Structure 1
Amino acid sequence: MKDRIGKAVFWVGWSKGFVQFLSFLSTLYIARLLSPNDYGLMAMTGIWVGALAIVTEMGLSAVIIQFKDLDDRELNLCFWGALGMAGVGYGILYAAAPAIADWFAVPMLCEILRVVSLTLPLTAVRIIPDGLLRKALALDKTSRAEILAVGVALPVQVAMASAGFGVWALVTGTLLMPLMQSVVTFKLSAWRPGIRMGSARARAILNFGSAKLGGSISWAVYEQTDSLVLGKISGEVGVGLYSMAKQIALLPVHKISVVVNQIAFPLMAGLQDNVEQMRSVFLRQIRMVACLTFPLCIGLALVTEDLVWVALTEKWLPLVPVLQVLCVSSVVRSCEVLFPPLLLARYRASVLFRWTIGLLLVMPIAFWAGAALSGGLGVALVWALVYPVMIAGMAQRALREIHLNWKLVWDEVAPIVKGTIVMAISVSMLHSAMHTTDAATHMLRLVLSIGLGAVVYSGCIFWQGGRLVGEIVQLVRWVIGKDMTFNPKSTTKGA
């Protein structure tokens, strides 16, 4: 187990770093070539495809990881069930596309939606082999699949955008990614589907999967409601600006916190009967995630104007205040994703379901009010002000499962918060002292801000000392492949 976790960190660290670096650069380059309208069309499409993708997945990824010793008949049942649901989902979206386009008053959306919906079966086909690889912590193989998929999709996407294909460059990349990832995942997995299906644990699997699915559906609906409401009120340009801001603001969440969860869920599932080790692992996770995401989110909020000037050009400047608010909200969201694996590992999927139902009842109304009052900025403020209140109860229940309280959690992140505050003050002082007039001065201030922030924050963390410094050193050794071992008990002291 220790060797597998160390190997998983090594592969996830390098593959995610490489893939996300390329993705970020290509996103910035393509955004310079395309318009907010193009991104608005994709955001409107993603609302429906994203929601149906979660429905057709049926909670099976969690079932594969959580349940021990699934036999071939059970795996076959899950595979064909997911593929059948994906086919039904595609048929529903194909038939509903004209009505959706009419509702948004964007005729072109119909054709785009019918094409992008093909991602449903392309993604469903890899649910089982991908889940088996993740359950075994064979993240080196899932990482290879992702690297190869990105390596094929991104060059095609960039070439099409450069050739003037507009939104169809984004559509093509959206299709190529799951296609290549599914092909490579099947190649690297030893499992193959068969036709014999059945299970003596069908009821238990169905109950767990249904609760997970119910929570996922509710999450998908409220998560996409911001774009849905904004698209209806502000049109494709408004939602295009917002979707780009949201994509950039959530980079630390998607590229760090979600990556940690790829290891956390199977690890927590394996430790489900050992509360002490679950508590130790969770505290280490929240320290490491906060150590990276807090300064990144706040730093990104501080340099937003310079970043947009340099990377996206003037046509994207209206997103600056929206991006700044979303970056602040991402501080909370980066840690929030660490709590659900605790509940799932303890078979508390029903708690997540009830929580997401609450979100579904509150967040859409808040989004509508925010969008009506102040467009994209109003929606961003909902994420910053309302969402943290909504997650408090779920997080409290998760902490109770591993016998933790908020004071102990604060003790773990306090040095990180202090370092982030000092960094923010330093960068703000630099911005006040350095005025910008053109792209060149924005570039200079951006570079100086990043350098100053990195030096000040690192200095604060190492000056305060503590076990966080040792864990940073160990993480670096994992990433460079020098140390492939992991000891969850090493975090027990003081926990």
Structure 2
Amino acid sequence: MVSESTDFKEDGQPSESATAFGDRVRSAVIWRSGSQILAQIITWGSTLLVIRLLDPADYGLFAMTQVVISFLAFLNGWGFASALVQSDSIDPFRIRQAFGLLLLLNALLAAIQYFGAPVAAAYYGQPMVAELLRVQALIFLATPFIALPEVMMSRALDFRRQAIVNLVAAFAGAGTALGCALAGYGVWTLVYAPIALFWTRALGLTIAARLLVWPSFDFRGCGQIVGFGSAVLFSQFFWLVQSQSDIFIAGSRFEPHALGLYAEALFLAQIFMAKFVPPLNEVAFPAYSRIKHDLAAVQWSFLKTVRLLTLVAAPFYCGLAVVAAPMVETLFGTKWLGMAPYIQLLSLALLVMTVQILFAPVNNALGKPSLSMFASLGGAFIFPTAFLIGANWGLEGIAWAWLVAAPLLLIVTARLSAPLIGVSLLDIGRAMLPGLAPALVMAIGVGVAEQSLGALGWAAPIRLALLVAMGVALYAALLWLLEREAIAEVSRLVIRRRPPVQDAI
């Protein structure tokens, strides 16, 4: 979200007007977020059918492989390519260098995963993990053809063509998943679907960006790419230690069925943070990069982003926590009801995490990715420590660990980043309050209603429909009574009102 009262410059030359730039950012947000919502609707439709056909143990085995892939993926060079967004200017040779670097890194990662798969399988005590990992190595080979065109289009705030490609890829992944599940492929369904999605995106983005360039393996003079990308790389590594350590710790202690319940609860609870916030950050990074010389505009834009995102995230997470049981029973079936206690705890923790990850794009845009790296380092210490302690009380103890560690990490991140942005912890708290306070009141009301409806013995789908309707109505009413300015702010973001046309004299 960008202030419309500031003139921006790039390369020392006057840029487009602030209003025109604000319109471009607004369009980028709508295209990127809108396409993400549609893609998720497609994916969820397929997932709800697939999850009824597969067993929790399938998801437990798949979760084990994702820890390995995630730890390797932080080396895929995306951070090096992102340096092209932050740079004031680029030339064709630097693009070729970035492409060459992406090809080398991802070919190496694919080889490491393929030949190192038996080691992971031995750690988990599940021979099937090795077979799954070897096939999933194909994902790394698609990454260079996704990262470079996506970065170049993001630099130009061109998210319309990305949106179209992402929707086509979502159909390809969803169709593959449903077809494989119906054909009885079991856990392989969860492997083939992402491969179809990644390679569809790779082909589509390369064509859309018209960016099939010849790679250069002459890396002389690419210090800025390596310097910026290295800080981003370490941030990603520490983030992965933080976010994957729960499955890594639990994978060797609990059997696949129980781990599958926890992993899918985490996936569901993370949907908003993992699926909707990253697209906003993708727009925010180039937008902040354009206004990085105007600190007042950066500060205003950051607080506005926190405020608007909390207006959506707070009711989602608070509502999810109180309707977890009827939602799981309705959407996934009774065999997945063990997810509900995990969802209730994780939802509250991930509300805090949603705000925490908003700091990274502004730090990177201001040329200080090291701050995000140190924040991630804090998370890499806080979360595994909490998970190791919580594991003594089972998987539910690990879920409780999220609820303790997430607020601590937000405090650490804010203390590191707030001085750079020019905001205080109090400013951030005030920005969150318009969405958080009504959401908590709404959750209390819906929670009381759930207890009453459950005591009456009503079917889960009926309870879920009534509770969701009640939650939406109650939250909307509270916003109308207490935060009308917040509603107006959201309206101004979505609906661009043009100035009236003056009559000719």
Matched, 1:463 2:481: yes
Alpha-carbon distance in 2 for matches of 1:484, 1:21? 32
> How far apart are 1:227 and its partner, in Å?
0.8
Alpha-carbon distance in 2 for matches of 1:483, 1:108? 57
Counterpart of 1:141 in structure 2 is: 161
Counterpart of 1:177 in structure 2 is: 197
Counterpart of 1:489 in structure 2 is: none
Counterpart of 1:447 in structure 2 is: 465
Alpha-carbon distance in 1 for matches of 2:326, 2:276? 23
Listed as ranges, the matches of 1:50-129 within 5 Å are 50-57=70-77, 59-129=79-149
Q: Which residue identity is paired with 1:430?
A: A
Counterpart of 2:490 in structure 1 is: 472
**Equivalent pair of 1:73/1:197 in contact (CA under 8 Å):** no
Matched, 1:427 2:414: no
Structure 1 residues 182 and 319 mapped into 2: Cα distance closer, same or farther (>3 Å)? same
Alpha-carbon distance in 2 for matches of 1:484, 1:50? 45
> How far apart are 1:92 and its partner, in Å?
0.9
Matched, 1:264 2:284: yes
Alpha-carbon distance in 1 for matches of 2:215, 2:29? 36
Which of 206, 213, 238 does residue 226 from structure 2 map onto?
206
Counterpart of 1:410 in structure 2 is: 429
Structure 1 residues 277 and 99 mapped into 2: Cα distance closer, same or farther (>3 Å)? same
TM-score normalized with structure 2 length: 0.91
Q: Which residue identity is paired with 2:208?
A: L
Alpha-carbon distance in 2 for matches of 1:261, 1:88? 28
State the Cα RMSD in Å: 1.9
Alpha-carbon distance in 2 for matches of 1:10, 1:386? 32
Is 288-297 or 22-31 further displaced after alignment? Answer: 22-31
Q: 1:345-367: per-residue Cα shift (whole Å, max 9, x none)? A: 12111122222223223322321
Listed as ranges, the matches of 1:53-452 within 5 Å are 53-57=73-77, 59-196=79-216, 201-371=221-391, 373-435=392-454, 441-452=459-470
Structure 1 residues 302 and 61 mapped into 2: Cα distance closer, same or farther (>3 Å)? farther
TM-score normalized with structure 1 length: 0.93
> How far apart are 1:197 and its partner, in Å?
5.7
Counterpart of 1:47 in structure 2 is: 67
> How far apart are 1:122 and its partner, in Å?
1.0
Which of 1, 6, 28 does residue 8 from structure 1 map onto?
28
Structure with the greater relative contact order (CA < 8 A, sep ≥ 6): 1 or 2?
Answer: 1
Q: Which residue identity is paired with 2:45?
A: L
Alpha-carbon distance in 2 for matches of 1:56, 1:259? 19
Structure 1 residues 279 and 466 mapped into 2: Cα distance closer, same or farther (>3 Å)? farther
**Equivalent pair of 2:80/2:228 in contact (CA under 8 Å):** no
Is 173-182 or 351-360 further displaced after alignment? Answer: 351-360
> How far apart are 1:199 and its partner, in Å?
6.8
Q: Which residue identity is paired with 1:423?
A: M
Is 443-452 or 48-57 further displaced after alignment? Answer: 48-57
Q: 1:240-294: per-residue Cα shift (whole Å, max 9, x none)? A: 1111001110112123322221211111111111111001111111111100000
2:143 is paired with a residue of what secondary structure? helix
Alpha-carbon distance in 1 for matches of 2:258, 2:288? 41
> How far apart are 1:213 and its partner, in Å?
0.8
**Equivalent pair of 1:287/1:413 in contact (CA under 8 Å):** yes
Give the total of aligned pairs. 479
> How far apart are 1:295 and its partner, in Å?
0.5
Between the aligned residues of both structures, percent identity stands at 25
Alpha-carbon distance in 2 for matches of 1:27, 1:321? 21
**Equivalent pair of 1:7/1:484 in contact (CA under 8 Å):** no
> How far apart are 1:437 and its partner, in Å?
7.4
Alpha-carbon distance in 1 for matches of 2:498, 2:285? 19
> How far apart are 1:190 and its partner, in Å?
2.9
**Equivalent pair of 1:431/1:445 in contact (CA under 8 Å):** yes
Structure 1 residues 349 and 14 mapped into 2: Cα distance closer, same or farther (>3 Å)? closer
**Equivalent pair of 2:414/2:425 in contact (CA under 8 Å):** no
Q: Which residue identity is paired with 2:420?
A: E
Alpha-carbon distance in 1 for matches of 2:414, 2:45? 34
The unaligned stretches of length 5 or more in structure 2 are 1-20, 500-505
> How far apart are 1:460 and its partner, in Å?
0.8
Alpha-carbon distance in 2 for matches of 1:224, 1:240? 14
Q: 1:284-343: per-residue Cα shift (whole Å, max 9, x none)? A: 111111000001001001000001111111111112111110011111011111111121
Structure 1 residues 158 and 367 mapped into 2: Cα distance closer, same or farther (>3 Å)? same
Alpha-carbon distance in 2 for matches of 1:38, 1:361? 30
**Equivalent pair of 1:149/1:181 in contact (CA under 8 Å):** yes
Alpha-carbon distance in 2 for matches of 1:239, 1:432? 28
The unaligned stretches of length 5 or more in structure 1 are 486-495
> How far apart are 1:74 and its partner, in Å?
1.0
> How far apart are 1:233 and its partner, in Å?
0.7
